[in-house]
Each structure stands twice: as C-alpha cells, then as structure tokens.
Amino acid sequence: MPLSLKVVRAVRDIGVNKGATGPHFMECDDGLTYLVKFSGGSRAAVNEFIGQTLARAVALPTPNSALVDLSAEVIAHSSDLRNRAILPGLHQGSEVIANSSDLSELERRHGKLDEELVNVEVLPGTVCLDNWILTEDRDRAENHLIQAVPGGFRYYMVDFTHSFTGPTWTADSLDQGSFVRTLVPTEPQLAASIRGLHSVESTLKRIETVGDSKIEEIIASIPGAWSVSGEEREILVRFIELRRSLLRSVLTSNASRFPNWSG
C-alpha cells in the first residue's frame, strides 16, 4: 500500500535557488515555504522523494517534505518556469528550515561540527545512508544544512539529487550501481566522525531492518505522473535491497578512508 503523503498547494513562486536542477522556493497554502524540485526533465524529484523518505525511516535528520501541487496560474507568473516548460501537477517540496545555512558558514569561521552540533551523534549515520543509496556529492558544503539553535547548530541532510547514480539514472546505471563497493565522496568532518564499526552500528541495524515490503511501499508511492515505469520501479527496489545487504561490508572494507577508525 502506498504511503500517506502530505500534499500542499503552491500559492506564490518566490524564485529560483542555486543548484544544477534549478529548484524554486514556493509559498504554499499551509503557510510554509518549500524548496521545490520539479518532476520533469530529470530524476531530481524522484531521488529527493526516495532519499528523504529513507532518511526518515532510519531516524536521520532531513527537512519535512510534501508533494507540492503547482498550478498553471503560478507557472504563468514565472518566466523561468515558463521557459523550462514546467508542467502543472505534483512536484517534490522540502520545507525551508529557518535560521539555517550550508556548511560553508561554519567553515568560514573555522568551526568544527563535532564541537558545535547539538545532534553530532547523527553524523556517522549520514555516511551510512549516502553509501546505501550512492549519493555522489555529499563532499560539497552546500549539501549539508545547519540550523542555528540554542547551544549551537542542528544538522540536516539535504539534497538527494545525486543519489541513485545521479539525476539522469537509467535502469542500466542502477543495475551497475547496485554492486559498487567503493565509498562515495565524503565531507572530511563527517568521515572523521566515524571511529570504528561501533560508530555506525545503530544506523546499520536500522537500515538492515528496513524490510522489503517497506522499500516496495516507498517506491510504489512515487507519483504516477513522474514517468517512472513499472520496470524502473522494480529496478529501484532491487537497487535499494541489494545495497542494503552490501552496506556493512562496503564500510568495513574501506575503513582506511576514515582517519579515526580503530578496532
């Protein structure tokens, strides 16, 4: 049975954000602002939908999400959306986190994640997730979000566009990626947070207990209008299941890539 998903209606386009896929900020009828990735032209919306859903399934922090219903009227008021021939319908939205910035803000003042995060314990788990779903660009500062909160910062995983072998994945690329045993690129401070198998054990166990039926449920929930065929859905399920079974060995066989790994 497909997941029960939140759907909101876009009421105003605020404008384009940086990023290869050109997402837009949208005010929606629930009073919140979402960063919206569009379902046409690439797999960005699909990847974001699956990545965020899996992150929440294994208790990793990622912004709340919703399917954003975009009307022809809102599109008509945006030259960028018109020029890109974005269609009305459902697109993938991530709730904008107040008082937040990407990791470059911390880097500019030479701050350290392990000293300033109020949820530092999640960092090793993010490396697990990215190697599960092959996120290829988590080494870039803009793909990490930190929110200023009392006592420091709260970390969130954002941007899964380049998961699942990237935003232009095919059935062939997923089949090939299923068996990749090298680590995906990792931000140095996240790599340093892993001090041995014990650092990732809790997240590994949560990933390993995400059942086949749950994975099938997530993939079945991808909106039908997003042009993911039945065969492609089956291949996505197989990719996630195969990489789930390989993940522990991928991490342990690449222990030398983690500078603080011991034991």
Let me know: does 37 contact 46? Beta carbons within 8 Å.
Answer: no
- In this prediction, residues 109-137 reach a mean pLDDT of 93
Q: Identify the pLDDT of residue 2.
A: 66
Q: Identify the pLDDT of residue 7.
A: 97
Residues 6+ apart with CB under 8 A from 89: 39, 69, 70, 223, 225
In one-letter notation, the amino acid at residue 176 is Q
Which sign, positive or negative, has the C-alpha torsion 61, 258, 112, 114?
positive
Q: Identify the pLDDT of residue 112.
A: 84
- Half-sphere exposure of residue 114, counting CA atoms within 13 Å on the CB side? 9
Other CB atoms within a 10 A radius of the CB of residue 176 amount to 12
Burial of 262 (0-12, 13-18, 19+ CB in 10 A): exposed
Is residue 240 predicted with pLDDT exceeding 80?
yes
Which neighbouring-strand residues pair with 146? Answer: 101, 155
User: What pTM did the predictor assign?
Assistant: 0.95
Name the token pair of 251.
């991490």
pLDDT digits (tens, 9 = 90+) for 161-215: 999 999 999 999 999 999 999 999 999 999 999 999 999 999 999 999 999 999 9
pLDDT digits (tens, 9 = 90+) for 85-114: 999 999 999 999 999 999 888 878 777 888
pLDDT digits (tens, 9 = 90+) for 25-41: 999 999 999 999 999 87
Domains annotated on the chain, with CATH:
7-257 (1.10.1070)
Q: Identify the pLDDT of residue 15.
A: 85
